[in-house]
């Protein structure tokens, strides 16, 4: 199975406690706390059968954050997910996809993520 981080190419970071790397696929949380992450993926064509979307913290799947997609290559989907978790300073957050054929967020595909520090 293949896998890749989902990129957020047009990122607008509006807080000092969140940084994103130059390729738009790794988010670093610069303050310890409890965070809520909401994500939305609009997937046009090019999604494999049996694709999984996962929020990962330091490379480990956040429990309850996985979405499983089982659609054909010509179908369109809107996938939403949410997770609340504890993170330490310097923790790295990624939205990851796995599948027989992974998706590419190009053309009609897009992604949005909102990260809120609760405590």
Q: Give the CATH number of the domain where residue 41 resides.
A: 2.60.120.40
Q: Quick one: CA torsion of 43, 46, 51, 57, rounded to 10 degrees?
A: -60
**pLDDT: is 94 or 47 the higher one?**
94
Q: Give residues with Cβ within 8 angstroms of 36, minimum separation 6.
A: 82, 83, 84, 115, 116, 118
**pLDDT: is 21 or 86 the higher one?**
86
pLDDT at residue 48 tops 60: no
| Domain housing 57 | 2-8+17-117
Determine contact, residues 79/68, Cβ cutoff 8 Å: no
What's the domain count of the chain? 1
pLDDT in tens, 69-85: 766 555 677 788 999 99
Q: Assign 49 a pLDDT band (cuts: 50, 70, 90).
A: low
pLDDT at residue 101 tops 80: no
Residue 81's closest CA among 27, 34, 38, 35? 38
How much of the chain is helix, strand and coil, in % rounded to 5? Answer: 0, 50, 50
């Amino acid at each position: 199975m293949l896998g890749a981080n989902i990129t957020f190419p047009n990122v607008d970071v509006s807080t000092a406690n969140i940084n994103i790397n130059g390729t738009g696929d790794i988010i670093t949380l610069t303050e310890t706390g409890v965070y809520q992450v909401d994500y939305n993926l609009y997937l046009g064509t090019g999604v494999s059968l049996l694709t999984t979307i996962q929020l990962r913290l330091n490379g480990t799947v956040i429990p309850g954050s996985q979405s499983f997609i089982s659609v054909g290559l010509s179908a369109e989907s809107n996938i939403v997910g949410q997770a609340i978790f504890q993170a330490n300073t310097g923790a790295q957050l990624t939205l990851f996809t796995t599948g027989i054929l992974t998706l590419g967020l190009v053309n009609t595909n897009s992604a949005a993520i909102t990260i809120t520090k609760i405590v």
